[in-house]
């Protein structure tokens, strides 16, 4: 399956471990990526709220790149996905598309509205199939209690995300089970990580981050797993401050979704870049993985 791969800014910036672990898993899953090196930032919703036409135009350029190659766009970030979906929905309107195409014309792009946008998680469930994923698991993550953390954009608004696939807000749990781990049930799974307000109201953002981690922890999570690197920036990068804000110790490792998959596929913690994490994941995870490997053999 050929895809136009859009890693997004954070995978190429603050979360190199994400970019690296995606590389490990695409080939075995039968996904052939063509990376869109030239594609612009989606604007992460920030540009949309400033100027929707501008966000639509920049994203239409990306969609046109994929359309030219007749490939779906593969994303690995909830925020990129949601922002693109919203632009793409507006671009289904012919008037909107014509306005945007006029802006793209001097740069020799035209978008016809046919590109499909899929987050890796969706592609795994809807296109690759969880059976195939299961076959690739060399090291079932048995005994590991993983708390899913979706990232708002991947599940809301359901009119945009879940119209044809009403169960998309359950995929993460299913995938975690497929990998042999146990998905933790807790309310925070579908809440906001606090990242969008972190520069505007840091105290509130940190409390949001902390409450979700605490919720997961209280429900027995060994770690949290997220398909969104922006959530990761907060959950991992600012967990110390979130812990302070709440006045309670946290210490829950946060994994990117592709890292968890790669680990189950047999890759080592070093290969998936756990060393980049702020909250140490290697220690507790290493022991669990050893146990898992022992159990699998």
Q: Which is nearer to other proteins, 27 or 187 (CB)?
A: 187
Instruction: Give the number of other Cβ atoms within 10 Å of residue 138's Cβ.
Output: 15
Instruction: Give the number of other Cβ atoms within 10 Å of residue 159's Cβ.
Output: 8
Q: How far apart are CA 68 and CA 109, in angstroms?
A: 9
Site for other proteins contains 181 (CB under 8 A): no
**Sequential DSSP letters for 135-164:** HH-SS--TT-EEEE---GGGT-SHHHHSSS
Site for other proteins contains 238 (CB under 8 A): yes
Residue from the set 2, 30, 37, 89 that interacts with other proteins by CB under 8 A: 37
Residue from the set 107, 164, 247, 297 that interacts with other proteins by CB under 8 A: 107
Residue from the set 1, 134, 192, 291 that interacts with other proteins by CB under 8 A: 192
**Sequential DSSP letters for 218-279:** HTT-SEEEES-HHHHHHHTTTHHHHHHHHTS-----EEEHHHHHHHHTT--TTTTTGGG-SS
Q: Which is nearer to other proteins, 235 or 264 (CB)?
A: 235
Residue from the set 278, 291, 293, 296 that interacts with other proteins by CB under 8 A: 278
Q: Which is nearer to other proteins, 55 or 264 (CB)?
A: 55
Q: Which of these segments, 39-47, 120-128, 135-143, 287-295, binds other proteins (CB under 8 A)?
A: 39-47
Minimal distance, residue 70 CB to other proteins, in Å: 20
**Sequential DSSP letters for 51-107:** -HHHHHHHHHHHHHHHHHHT-PEEE--HHHHHHHHHHHHHTTSHHHHHHHHHHHGGG
Minimal distance, residue 98 CB to other proteins, in Å: 12
Residue from the set 34, 35, 41, 127 that interacts with other proteins by CB under 8 A: 41
x-or-dash string of contact with other proteins, 135-174, rule CB under 8 A: -----------------xx--xxx----------------
Residue from the set 1, 128, 240, 293 that interacts with other proteins by CB under 8 A: 240
Residue 40 is given by DSSP the state P
Q: How far apart are CA 65 and CA 125, in angstroms?
A: 25
Q: How far apart are CA 138 and CA 28, in angstroms?
A: 12
Q: What angle do the packed helices 257-264 and 16-26 form, to 10 degrees?
A: 40
Q: Please list every residue from 17 through 36 that binds other proteins, using CB under 8 A.
A: none
Residue 37: alpha-carbon gap to chain centroid:
19
Site for other proteins contains 249 (CB under 8 A): no
Q: Which is nearer to other proteins, 203 or 270 (CB)?
A: 203
Q: How far apart are CA 108 and CA 117, in angstroms?
A: 22
Computed from CA positions of residues 290, 285, 154, 170, in that sequence, does the dihedral angle turn out positive or negative?
A: positive
Minimal distance, residue 4 CB to other proteins, in Å: 14
Q: Which of these segments, 23-31, 131-139, 196-204, 287-295, binds other proteins (CB under 8 A)?
A: 196-204
Q: Which is nearer to other proteins, 51 or 114 (CB)?
A: 51
Interface positions with other proteins (CB under 8 A): 9-10, 12-16, 37-41, 43-51, 53-54, 57-58, 61, 99, 102-104, 106-107, 152-153, 156-158, 187, 191-192, 194, 196-197, 199-205, 207-208, 211, 237-238, 240-241, 275-278
């Amino acid at each position: 399956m050929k895809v136009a791969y859009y890693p997004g800014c954070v995978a190429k910036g603050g979360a190199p471990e994400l970019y690296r672990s995606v590389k490990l898993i695409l080939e075995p899953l039968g996904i052939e990526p063509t990376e869109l090196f030239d594609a612009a930032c989606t604007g992460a919703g920030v540009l949309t709220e400033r100027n929707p036409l501008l966000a639509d135009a920049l994203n239409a350029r990306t969609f046109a790149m994929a359309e030219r190659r007749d490939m779906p766009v593969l994303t690995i970030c909830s925020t990129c996905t949601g922002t693109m979906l919203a632009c793409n929905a507006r671009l289904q309107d012919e008037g909107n598309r014509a306005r945007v195409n006029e802006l793209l014309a001097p740069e020799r792009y035209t978008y016809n509205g046919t590109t499909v946008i899929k987050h890796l998680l969706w592609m795994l469930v809807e296109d690759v199939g969880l059976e195939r994923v299961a076959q690739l698991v060399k090291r079932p993550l048995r005994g590991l209690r993983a708390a899913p953390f979706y990232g708002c954009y991947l599940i809301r608004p359901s009119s945009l995300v879940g119209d044809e696939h009403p169960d998309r807000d359950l995929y993460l749990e299913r995938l975690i089970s497929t990998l042999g781990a146990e998905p933790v049930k807790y309310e925070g799974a579908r809440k906001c990580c606090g990242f969008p307000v972190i520069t505007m109201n840091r105290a509130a953002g940190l409390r949001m981050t902390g409450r979700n981690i605490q919720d997961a922890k209280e429900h027995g999570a060994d770690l949290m797993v997220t398909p969104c690197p922006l959530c990761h920036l907060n959950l991992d990068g600012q967990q110390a401050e979130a812990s302070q804000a709440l006045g309670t110790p946290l210490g829950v490792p946060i994994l990117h979704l592709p890292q968890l998959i790669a680990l189950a596929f047999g890759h080592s913690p070093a290969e998936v870049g756990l060393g980049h994490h702020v909250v140490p994941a290697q220690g507790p995870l290493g022991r669990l993985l050893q146990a898992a490997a022992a159990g699998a053999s």
